[in-house]
Amino acid sequence: MTVTSATGTNRIVRPRRVVRSGEGKWAWLLVGVVAAVLLIWEAAVSWLQLVPAAFLPPPTEIIAAFVRLLGEPEFWQAFVYSMQNLLIGLALAIVVGVVVGLAVGWSPVLRFTVAPFLWLLYSTPKVALAPLFILILGLGNESKIALVFLLAVFPIILNTMEGAVAVSPSLVSAGRVFGVNGVYLGWKVIFPATLPYSLSGIQRGAALGFTGEVLGEFLGGTGGLGHLLEFAAYQFMMAEAIALVIVMVIIANLTLWLISTLRRRLAPWYDDRKIVGAS
């Protein structure tokens, strides 16, 4: 006994991302503006000498420094050092953040007792604690990892918490009707329903964590991109310093892009425009 539905023979076409026809034009405009700014900058420094090149090196010099940097093993050592700390700190923050966020979001008791403190801590400028961390944990990796963790964990906790609160009660009812209880309810219903929120928190956390890593290296460190940057600035090698900043911008944006791609992959059912404060 089969029923042929009215639509049974049609295949569903998955919605594709709409490419607006004007978008290409705007991209070209952006490229044009950037090119114009670089050209004016080059002209002002190299040809008109309005600004001393020692303070503001021209774009060509920065590009040369950038290329030189990529050829230096010292740079790659610093890169690995920074990324390692970032990844360890972020991994810890993700595990702790998701678990704590789910628990606090799901338990009304915890939500009313713990959540206000989490919001308070979130809005506290934790960067101010950086010197303290370095004093206590030393100049090595530990202080950087701790700083990454501290900065990354709060957005992850708070977003996961918000997600857990927003889980549709009817999904929970469906779980209960079909015998999904306790840990299983958490694993099969609450966690997947919260995942898009968690990923949004992780995205924010990663950006803040990277700031923490660089800051830690800057304030007192023996390695990493922040340390290199501090060294370059101290030596008054402005082109190198700016090239390093550009590297950091690239890393930060790649991380954001990676996580938002991940979010689209892992949670395609979720329209990310619905997430408040997604960045």
Partner 1 sequence: MTTTIEPAEDEASVSSLISVRDLTVSYDVARTGKKLVAIEGVDLDVREGEFVTVLGPSGCGKTTFMNVIAGLVKPTSGQVLVAGEPVTGPGPDRAVVFQDYALLPWRTVFDNVKFGLEMQKALKGSGWRDRVQEAIELVGLSGFEHSYPRELSGGMQQRVGLARAIVAEPRILLMDEPLGAVDALTREVMRAEIEKLIAATGKTVLFITHSIEEAILLGDRIVVFKSHPGAIKEVIETGLARPRSERSIQSDPRFLELRDHLWDALQGEATAAAVSK
Applying CB under 8 A, the residues found at the interface with partner 1 are: 1-9, 11-12, 14-15, 168, 170-171, 173-174, 176-180, 184, 188-189, 192-193, 195, 267-270
DSSP alpha helices (H): ranges in 107-237? 108-113, 115-123, 130-137, 141-166, 169-177, 182-185, 191-219, 225-234
Minimum Å distance from CB 3 to partner 1? 4
Of the pair 102, 247, the CB lying nearest partner 1 is at: 102
Of the pair 11, 17, the CB lying nearest partner 1 is at: 11
Contacts of 196 (CB under 8 A, 6+ apart): 163, 263, 267, 270, 272, 275
Minimum Å distance from CB 5 to partner 1? 4
Minimum Å distance from CB 253 to partner 1? 28
Minimum Å distance from CB 155 to partner 1? 23
Residue 46 DSSP class: I
Of the pair 1, 276, the CB lying nearest partner 1 is at: 1
Of the pair 55, 178, the CB lying nearest partner 1 is at: 178
Minimum Å distance from CB 23 to partner 1? 25
Q: Which two tokens stand for residue 62?
A: 């920065």
Give residue 163's Cα distance to chain centre. 18
Of the pair 68, 274, the CB lying nearest partner 1 is at: 274
Q: Give CA–CA dist 233/164, Å, rounded.
A: 45
Minimum Å distance from CB 35 to partner 1? 42
Inter-CA distances, 279 with 80, 231, 276, Å: 26, 31, 9
Of the pair 107, 168, the CB lying nearest partner 1 is at: 168
Give residue 235's Cα distance to chain centre. 31
- Residue 126: burial class (beta carbons within 10 Å; 0-12, 13-18, 19+): middle
Q: Give CA–CA dist 279/260, Å, rounded.
A: 9
